[in-house]
Each structure stands twice: as C-alpha cells, then as structure tokens.
Amino acid sequence: MRERPDGSQTQSETADRVHSSRDTPQRAASATSRVTLREITEDTVIDVVRLKVAQDQERFVAPNAVSLAQALFSRTAWYRAIYLDDAPVGFVMLSDDSLSPSPPADPEIWIWRFMVDERYQGQGIGAAALRLVIDHVRRKGGFKSLQLSFVPGDGGPEGLYLAAGFKHTGRVEEDEVVLELPLVS
C-alpha cells in the first residue's frame, strides 16, 4: 500500500489494511507455512515502521524506525520485514560481521532486533520467522554460532529463543542476557 505524500489514505486502502490484519483461527493454524522474510522497499517502509509491539513490551525492543535509522549507518546490518502472506507483520535485523568491508577471520553474527506486531503474536509467526533467520545464517555459512541478547522480564522473548535451540551463555551485556545457538558440531 502506498501512502499519499500528505500521509493520508483512501477509505478503501484503510479498509483493506484493517481487513488484512484480521486473522481467523483457521488461518492462524497454518500461518507458519506462510511466513517469509522480504526486503524492505520504498513501497513497504511506512507499513514496517508502523508495526509495533504491545505497550508493555516496548521496553524489550526499539521501534522499527530507530532500527532502520541505525541500519542506514551500519555496514554490518542485514534486515528484512517478516511477512504473513502479503502483509508485513514484523521486523528482523542482524549484525553480520561478514558484511564488513574488512571482515574478521572469525566473523560473528547477532540477531540485533526481532519483533512481531502485537496483532500477530501468539500465532507461531515469531517462531517461523526465527527458523527462517536461522536457516539464512546456516546457508550463508562461516559462523560458529548465532548470538542474541534480550532484556529479561515477563512478556519477553526468552521462551521463543530457548524453544528455537538457543542456550544461555552466562554472559550479560548492558543489562541484556546473551544467548547463543551453536551452528557447528
């Protein structure tokens, strides 16, 4: 959906957006097979920036606008929108040392940001998107592990990450718990 230069939308565009954000139980059950990661374009960036977590989750992840601004100035940022069918429903950003102009001999890769819009949580979309991220990192190769850090607390993402195979490292960086998924045996 393209936004008019003044930021307004036609009534049909608004209705289509509201209708596409609804999910029936039948659709939610099969949602995981319909999740994809897509590049963010000029046509989709506004929709991605509008995605948000629930108010009580805001302490866990920065807004997507901040993430995209950081990506603009980072040579190691790799980012995608998380889609359910043709609707953007989340955002993921990696910090990938191998993208550096002079990558280190043993590059690291981290999940820098990961979020699913509050309207789409609890449907398996986050788990499916996380599997796609892990698959991307494995296909790319050259990494010993995939790391991430998170702010601990009720309503946080720890359970999602542990279910995907991430393990506690015993490290805490800037008040965030560090987890790691080994990629080599």
Q: 145-177: per-residue pLDDT in tens?
A: 999 999 999 989 999 999 999 999 999 999 999
Tokens found for residue 144: 């010993």
Closest CA to 125 of 56, 55, 33, 47: 33
Question: Which tokens hold the place of 11?
Answer: 């009534």
Q: Which domains does the chain have, with CATH numbers?
A: 11-182 (3.40.630.30)
Q: Distances from the Cα of 150 to the Cαs of 29, 66, 88, 117, 171, in angstroms?
A: 27, 17, 23, 17, 11
Structure tokens at 56: 């009580």
* Higher pLDDT pick, 43 / 9: 43
Is the pLDDT reported for residue 3 higher than 90?
Answer: no
DSSP letter for each residue of 71-107: HHT-TTEEEEEEEETTEEEEEEEEEEGGGSSS--SS-
Contact 89, 50 (CB under 8 A): no
Give percent of the chain above pLDDT 70: 82
pLDDT band at 102 (very low <50, low <70, confident <90, very high): very high
Long-range contacts of 103-108 (CB under 8 A, 24+ apart): 106/144, 107/142, 107/143, 108/143, 108/145, 108/147
pLDDT of residue 20: 35
User: Whole-prediction pTM value?
Assistant: 0.82
